[in-house]
Structure 1
Amino acid sequence: MPRKAAQLSEADKHAAPGGAAAVDRALFVLSAFRLGDTTLGLAELAQRSGLYKSTLLRLLASLEHARLVVRHGDGRYGLGPEVARLHAVYAASFSLEAVVMPVLRQLVQDTRESAAFHVDQGEHRLCLYRVDSPQPVRDHIRAGDLLPRNRGAGGRVLRAFSGARGELYQKIRDEGVVELVGDRSPDIAGVSSPVFGPGGELKGALTLTCPTPRFDASFRASVLRAARVLSAELGGVFPYPD
């Protein structure tokens, strides 16, 4: 009889409820490859997945057949050409708006304040997407507006992660969030966090704005959570705690 594992492997811990165990394990093996990895040996894959080498070899045979991994002459494994083909299909169909807007809507629903996604635009920042607060008194910036890059929470975040020097910008890089009251306009407060894509690439700044009297310290945690979710949706890692 096949022996039972004394404890669940990492692959089994991340299995989909009601899913196919072999598929879950195979996909987890693919996820063991990290940025910077070119090839991995069987021992490394076993350590990262928590799977027996005998199980891994069977999974790798199926993944190799599907061209999702390739086995090199030295016996080590790398990602295969089918991964590149799937990435090209995904990239061609990818809509940034379809990913960003649901996160902004959820942030507005949680806080009842306005949320926006800003990107660098030369000496300015562009409000690329925006969801308004349901409250009549609010910041009335619209999607498509150009704003200062050296004022306001979103602008400060973009500058910080573009290498700007100074105590404020270092603090933003250390904490992954900034809260500013009256920086762009005396009547407006803002909280902003960076959003990252693959390889730590800065994709933009996720920003919550509100009239100064409605500013709440809890907005900080809400923005951090939203930036973490959006970074994950864009294939990045958000390296800051909630």
Structure 2
Amino acid sequence: MQLDQSSQISMQSSASSEKSDGVAAVDRALHVATTLANAPRGLTLSELANITTMYKSTLLRLLSSLERAGLVTHRADKRYALGSLAFMFGRSYEQAHGLKGAIQPILQWLVDQGTESPSFHVRHDRERRLCLIRVDSNHSTLDRVRTGDMLPLHRGAAGKVITTLDSAIQAQVPAPSDLIFTSFGERDPLCAAIAAPVFGPSMLLLGAISVSGPLERFSELAVERMKGLVLAAAQSATRSLGGNW
């Protein structure tokens, strides 16, 4: 039996509507996941509703689906955060785009320019940052930072980069115009550092490139020279990882 023209139009309209609703649901779910990705401490349902401007009932349906997929987890403190699937995505992204492969040559380039020892730092939790990659300089005396070290998040140049930029992103305000940060004797009274941010796609803050070493070698002239080199390194790393400066 053939359908008349009005029935066909009705079915096409219904299919189009369902397709549109499905795409909209995916868009909303991705918006929720992206919001959580920009909130390292996690968010309550009320906070999510305020940021996304979605109804709580809508959010609960989306969060339930995201939880089943493992992309979101509902923690014991009643906050929502990214789940294990996000870690798998991140690991796959790192393998595909080579975070270490992109950063390590740039750190070596800094050493070849005669800077202090360069490192790449990422946020670990609310209080600490992780030294993910480290290359020692050619100087005879070095500061005591190694790959895998946990360092204070709120002290040191790299920590300033992460906390300042994360705060700007969460508050949805422009980042500081000067993206070079320095520290002199903050984390270690005998050491100094210079750092700049590295961004990924969609202005995601990936971490901070820093150079650090004995405070006595951070003369005014040396600091000005290394600032330019660190900034160039951060810009190069950002481009390599698909970000925009």
Question: Is the TM value for this pair above 0.5?
Answer: yes
- Partner of residue 145 from structure 1, selected from 144, 149, 165: 149
Any gaps of 5 or more consecutive residues in structure 1? 1-88, 165-169
- Partner of residue 221 from structure 1, selected from 196, 207, 228: 228
CA distance in 1, matches of 2:174, 2:192: 18
CA distance in 1, matches of 2:187, 2:174: 19
Which letter maps to 2:98?
Answer: S
Q: CA RMSD in A?
A: 2.3
CA distance in 2, matches of 1:114, 1:132: 5
- Partner of residue 193 from structure 2, selected from 190, 195, 220: 190
Deviation string 1:9-54 (CA, Å, 9 cap, x unpaired) is: xxxxxxxxxxxxxxxxxxxxxxxxxxxxxxxxxxxxxxxxxxxxxx
Aligned pair count reads 146
Question: Quick check: 1:131 aligned with 2:135?
Answer: yes
Q: Counting helix residues as a fraction of each chain, which structure ranks higher?
A: 2
- Structure 1 residue aligned with 2:240: 233
Which letter maps to 1:163?
Answer: S
Which letter maps to 1:116?
Answer: S
Which letter maps to 1:196?
Answer: F
Cα pair distance change 1:160/1:210, threshold 3 Å: same
By how many angstroms is 1:111 displaced? 2.6
By how many angstroms is 1:136 displaced? 2.0
CA distance in 1, matches of 2:95, 2:189: 43
Deviation string 1:147-175 (CA, Å, 9 cap, x unpaired) is: 000000001111001107xxxxx998230
TM-score, structure 2 as length reference: 0.56
Any gaps of 5 or more consecutive residues in structure 2? 1-91
- Whether the 8 Å CA contact 1:108–1:132 is kept in 2: the answer is yes
Q: Percentage identity across aligned positions?
A: 37
3-state SS of paired residue (1:111): coil
1:1-242 equivalences under 5 Å are 93-122=96-125, 123-163=127-167, 173-215=176-218, 216-218=222-224, 219-238=226-245
Cα pair distance change 1:93/1:191, threshold 3 Å: same
